[in-house]
Amino acid sequence: MAQKNNAKIPKPNKNEDVPKDPPESSEVPAEENGEKKKLEELPPFEVVEGSRIPASSFMFQFKNVEYSSGRNKTLLCYTIERGEGQVFRGYLEDEHASAHAEEAFFSNVLPQFLSSGPVSVTCYVSSSPCVNCAAAIARCLRRSKTLKLRLVVARLFQWEESEIRGALRGIGSAGCQLRMMKSADYLHVWQNFVEPDVVLNEEGESEQKSEQGAFIPWEDLEENSKYYEEKLAEIMR
């Protein structure tokens, strides 16, 4: 079951980092190690945009497992529908803890489509939003009265925290339809947003990609989904 005991995942940030043990022995002085660490630090903000997610990344990041440790990204797949049958699709993923895909989408990407007429948006997200991202979603909904939004999430992020629960209720009251992903949703994302992984030959060159295989759900997908549905219903009451 998903995140039944948040005591095991006390990380305050949405994107969790997996702690790494130091090497058993090292001759590099501590000061030099510190300097090297500073040089290797990643930039504070980076959001990747694209149209298709590698299959292995989707299967790992969207899995509605009991504990999300090691899943240190948020993936957001979106469909934007405007008048006259215009449909736009894509996905975003955040690379570092300070950059969340939801805030980037609702603050930077979506506003470009809201200038003319009603807009219907469906987002499939690997994890429910944190407090800041929920605030960005609520602001977008309140500013755009013609926006219809569905947010379909694989896992609930720190759902026992009162601030998170309040943030989820906040986007609900702002007009967002929030629900958990089911098997049919996973299949839809697989068919519309996922691509086969690139295969390398012995020379390290990429070979022609094979046809996209069928989505194979993991054993406890439906069980975990129902568990999350119950928790979400409790929160939204």
Distance CA 12, CA 235 (A): 19
Tens-binned pLDDT, residue by residue, of the chain (237 aa):
433 333 333 333 454 443 333 344 444 444 444 444 343 443 444 556 666 888 988 999 999 987 766 777 889 999 999 877 889 999 998 865 566 899 889 988 898 898 878 999 999 999 999 999 999 999 999 999 899 999 999 999 889 899 999 999 999 999 999 999 999 999 999 999 998 876 666 666 656 455 457 899 999 999 999 999 999 999 998
Residue 49 to residues 55, 76, 167, Cα–Cα distance (Å):
16, 10, 26
**pTM of the predicted structure, to 2 decimals:** 0.74
Q: Are 51 and 89 in contact (CB under 8 A)?
A: yes
Whole-number pLDDT of residue 6: 35
Active site residues: 102
Q: How is the chain split into domains, by residue range?
A: 46-197+216-236
Q: Look up residue 66 and give its DSSP letter.
A: S
Distance CA 94, CA 102 (A): 9
**Rg for the chain, CA atoms, rounded:** 19
CA angle 188–49–57, rounded 5-degree value: 55
Helical residues (DSSP H) of the chain, grouped into ranges: 30-40, 55-61, 101-104, 131-143, 162-173, 183-193, 221-236
Q: Look up residue 16 and give its DSSP letter.
A: P
Question: So what CATH class is 46-197+216-236?
Answer: alpha beta
For 13-126, list the strands marked E by DSSP.
Answer: 47-50, 53-54, 75-82, 86-94, 119-125
Estimate to the nearest angstrom the gap between the alpha carbon of 213 and the chain centroid.
Answer: 23
